[in-house]
């Protein structure tokens, strides 16, 4: 009973910290010019708490102005996969597990990258997985099956996106159809790089940065600051547009750590994700017309803390190696953050974001 009480207190502190507005996190008036959407794949409240317990400093995530919760079921299942979860967030439509950027009847629907581009915004996607993987693909492509990686890569060629940073080079180059999509994207005005540069060049208009043949490594295996550095570079490039920008960032491997029931892998990926959020918050300090929203497509692992001492170690236990159907947290910073409080469906996220940027 005491252990349960400590767990409840810990989770309550996560909620209280997120709901409380620190003195340096005053709500901004007006509509956002820029929108940064962070998706922690597989991140529930317990994953956030695990990272906070492992950190000597408060997480950047917990500096949020506002917190809400989003339900995550798909069109055909109470437990979503990342394809349907990403599609719900990106487009506002539920779909069947496994589908990307489509309604259940296979009708293609535009996502936030397309919608913001139509309004004259610059757009970008930065991830710690292959760019053709389920969540980024939900923002960039349309496919009946999330595993059609080469088809998804070809569809990305048609996306109006301006900045792409992630892995998955083999799906663009070592293809069955013989096409070299990196060359085709260069022909469309992209600068193609296989590393994240230290600085931007003045003549770069669009960026395709693909750092790995497949997925980038784990942080524990030497990925380094791929995600935080990628966010910082993308923000510099996208902010050249006086109209504004939309950027989606995914902490992709939080999910994989929880599938593996590996708490050390999880904490390393959560800390990396939080560092990326910190880079965005630093940008927001100088650009207060920026809205930052952090959420998840689903929770993975059914993470719990059955034992622990306030001044000692905690034990993480997972109840499954798969996704769960629990609601996920939504943290928001900046102008319009108060709109993200409450309890709602993940399809409402795009509605809130587009409402705030309407007329911009």
Quickly list DSSP for 266-305: HHHHHHHHHHHHHHHHHHHHH-TTEEEEEE-S-EES-EEE
Mind listing the pLDDT tens digit for each residue in 93-151?
999 999 999 999 999 999 999 999 999 999 999 999 999 999 999 999 999 999 999 99
Q: Tell me which H or E stretch contains 115.
A: helix 112-118
82 included as an active-site residue = yes
Residue among 149, 213, 161 at smallest CA distance from 189: 161
Mind listing the pLDDT tens digit for each residue in 139-189?
999 999 999 999 999 999 999 999 999 999 999 999 999 999 999 999 999
Predicted TM-score of the model (pTM): 0.92
Mind listing the pLDDT tens digit for each residue in 260-273?
999 999 999 999 99
> Which residue ranges make up each domain of the chain?
2-19+33-357
Tokens of residue 346, six digits: 């993940």
Mind listing the pLDDT tens digit for each residue in 305-323?
887 656 667 788 999 999 9
Tokens of residue 35, six digits: 């929108």
Is the pLDDT confidence value at 20 over 80?
A: no
Query: SS3 of 84, please?
Result: helix
Work out the pLDDT band at 254, boundaries 50, 70, 90.
very high
Q: Are 278 and 228 in contact (CB under 8 A)?
A: yes
Please identify which of the residues 17, 66, 74, 82 carries the catalytic annotation: 82
Q: Are 342 and 13 in contact (CB under 8 A)?
A: no
Under CATH, what is the fold of the domain 2-19+33-357?
Alkaline Phosphatase, subunit A (3.40.720)
Q: Give dist(CA 348, CA 360) in Å, integer.
A: 20
pLDDT value of position 314: 76
Distances (CA, A) of 274 to 24, 50, 60: 18, 12, 6
Top pLDDT among 118 and 1 is at 118
pLDDT value of position 311: 61
Largest CA distance in the chain: 64
Mind listing the pLDDT tens digit for each residue in 55-96?
989 999 999 989 999 999 999 999 999 999 999 999 999 999
Residue among 204, 225, 40, 31 at smallest CA distance from 122: 204
């Amino acid at each position: 009973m005491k252990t349960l009480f400590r767990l409840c207190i810990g989770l309550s502190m996560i909620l209280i910290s997120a709901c409380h507005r620190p003195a340096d996190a005053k709500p901004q008036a007006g509509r956002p010019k820029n929108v940064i959407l962070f998706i922690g794949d597989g991140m529930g409240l317990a994953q956030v708490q695990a990272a906070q317990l492992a950190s000597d400093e408060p997480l950047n995530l917990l500096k949020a102005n506002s917190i809400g919760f989003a339900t995550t079921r798909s069109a055909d299942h109470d437990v979503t996969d990342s394809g349907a979860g990403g599609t719900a967030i990106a487009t506002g439509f539920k779909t069947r597990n496994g589908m990307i950027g489509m309604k259940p009847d296979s009708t293609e629907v535009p996502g936030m990258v397309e919608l913001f581009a139509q309004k004259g915004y610059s757009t970008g996607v930065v991830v710690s997985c292959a760019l053709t993987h389920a969540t980024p693909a939900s923002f960039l492509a349309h496919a009946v099956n999330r595993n059609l990686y080469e088809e998804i890569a070809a569809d990305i060629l048609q996306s109006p996106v301006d900045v792409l940073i992630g892995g998955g080079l083999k799906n663009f180059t070592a293809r069955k159809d013989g096409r070299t999509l990196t060359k085709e994207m260069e022909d469309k005005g992209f600068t193609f790089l296989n590393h994240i540069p230290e600085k931007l060049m003045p003549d770069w208009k669009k960026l395709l940065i693909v750092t790995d043949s497949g997925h980038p490594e784990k942080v524990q295996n030497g990925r380094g600051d791929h995600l935080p550095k990628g966010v910082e570079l993308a923000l510099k490039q996208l902010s050249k547009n006086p109209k504004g920008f939309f950027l989606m960032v995914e902490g992709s491997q939080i999910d994989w750590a929880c599938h593996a029931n590996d708490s050390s892998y999880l904490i390393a990926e959560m800390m990396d994700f939080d560092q990326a959020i910190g880079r965005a918050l630093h940008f927001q300090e100088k650009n207060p017309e920026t809205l930052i929203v952090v959420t998840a497509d689903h929770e993975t692992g059914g993470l719990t803390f059955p034992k622990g001492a306030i001044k000692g170690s905690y034990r993480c236990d997972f109840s499954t190696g798969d996704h769960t159907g629990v609601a996920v947290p939504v943290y928001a910073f900046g102008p319009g953050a108060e709109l993200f409080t409450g309890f709602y469906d993940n399809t409402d996220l795009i509605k809130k974001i587009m409402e705030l940027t309407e007329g911009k």
